[in-house]
Amino acid sequence: MVPKTVSALLDRHAHLLEREPFEAFVERLDSRHAELLNDALVHGGALERAMAMAEEARERIAEWPIPDAGFDALAASLRKVYRRGRNRMTEAWEHPSGARFHEWRKRAKYLWYHLRILAPAWPAVMEPWADAQHDLTDLLGEGNDLTDLLTLLDREPDLLPHGDMAEVLRGLAEARRRELWDMARPLGRRLYSETPAAFVDRLGGYWDGGVSTP
């Protein structure tokens, strides 16, 4: 994702920067990414292992026990995912770092998966809610990509040997990441405004109501 992140950053600031001086850097990142992917999938056997795991999982699905098809089958997991996402959000804002925002993003994405499953209980309410949760994961995901870029610039300075260019790119990446985090803050507050118990109770009411329109 780093090559795309750099390209997007340069496009965003095209009115301030000439893209040409950074083209060689983007090309090196593209080549490096392709080599790493090829090594992992082909030489590292990752593709074969993934296919074998998928086939094994497919065969086990028929044996999965589902003791309760009602909301109780989801309630405990939903409460845990919501609580962890809420806690990771608080930690990210109390002690901001790329790693903490990455953890929040993972938990936010897990909640999005749950909301998609529950959307049929009340589509008019749940689908926009799930969309907003997805918007949050997108903001945090773009921020994570910028964290990866910043980490790469620190760990492998030879990829962009011109120090002034590296500093310019680092400054743009840090500023954009902060902007994304600031955009995520009010959205996260709205999406995680309830206690876990109240959140689960409300969704359980939607489920039990079985309505399709407000």
- Residue 176 CA to residue 86 CA, distance in Å, equals 24
- Residue 135 CA to residue 124 CA, distance in Å, equals 17
What pLDDT is stored for residue 127 in this prediction?
Answer: 95
Q: How confident is the model at residue 194 (pLDDT cuts 50, 70, 90)?
A: very high
Q: How confident is the model at residue 97 (pLDDT cuts 50, 70, 90)?
A: very high
Q: What residue type is 188 in one-letter code?
A: G
SS3 label, residue 195: coil
Q: How many CB atoms lie within 10 A of CB 132?
A: 14
Helices (H), ranges, the chain: 2-12, 20-38, 46-61, 72-94, 98-118, 123-155, 163-191, 196-209
Structure tokens at 130: 């799930």
Residue 115 has pLDDT above 80, yes or no: yes
Per-residue pLDDT tens digits for 127-185? 999 999 999 999 999 999 999 999 999 998 888 877 788 999 999 999 999 999 999 99
SS3 label, residue 214: coil
In this prediction the pTM is: 0.84
- Residue 92 CA to residue 180 CA, distance in Å, equals 13
What pLDDT is stored for residue 44 in this prediction?
Answer: 59
